[in-house]
Each structure stands twice: as structure tokens, then as C-alpha cells.
Amino acid sequence: MKTLNDKKLIVEEEFCKGCGICVAFCPKNVLKVKNGKVLIADIDSCIQCGICEMRCPDYAIYLGGK
């Protein structure tokens, strides 16, 4: 699926603790945990719902841009 607007999914690696909350809640299985950090594995499936941003306790993943 094409990205819906100009927002971009950004991961701040130094903030991520690899808890896997975003991976478990992502409705489209976009994310994966690799070597203790979150990894954007399938960006084409992302629907930019923002659940990962809302649930991340470490402020490590967010939709950037306005």
C-alpha cells in the first residue's frame, strides 16, 4: 500500500529498549525486534495509524513530519 501522506516512520535507536510492545500492537506487522532494537521490516504495509507511537514507553518510534 502507498503511504497515505507525508508522514514518515522514524526510529530513535538509542532510545529503544527492545520491549516489543510496538511489534505486538502493530496491526500490519510492519515492525520486528532485531538485536534488542526495533526494526522497520515492511514499511510498504504501514498504514500510519500511530499505534506504535502511542504505545511506545521509551519515545523511540514516531511518525515524523506534519
Partner 1 sequence: MSKYLIEKYYRTERLPHIWCPGCGNGIVLKAIVKAIDNLKINKDDICVVSGIGCSSRATGYLDFNTVHTTHGRALAFATGIKFANPKLHVIVITGDGDCAAIGGNHLIHAARRNIDITTIVFNNNIYGMTGGQFSPTTPTGDKGTTAPYGNIDPNFDLCELAKASGATYVSRSTVYGVNMITKQVEEGIKNKGFSFIEVLTTCPTYYGRKNKKGDAAEMIRQLNEMTVNINAYDKLPEEKRENKIVIGELYRDTREEYTEKYDRLIKSF
Residues that bind partner 1 (CB under 8 A): 10, 14-15, 17-21, 23-25, 53-60, 62-64
* Identity of the residue, 32 or 55, whose beta carbon is nearer to partner 1 in the bound complex: 55
Contact (Cβ atoms closer than 8 angstroms) between residue 30 and residue 40: yes
- Closest approach, Cβ 43 to partner 1, in A, equals 18
Contact (Cβ atoms closer than 8 angstroms) between residue 52 and residue 39: no
Query: What contacts 58, CB < 8 A, 6 or more positions away?
Result: 15, 16, 17, 19
- Closest approach, Cβ 48 to partner 1, in A, equals 12
Could you tell me which of 4, 9, 5, 6 has the C-alpha nearest to residue 43? 9
- Closest approach, Cβ 46 to partner 1, in A, equals 16
* Identity of the residue, 17 or 43, whose beta carbon is nearer to partner 1 in the bound complex: 17
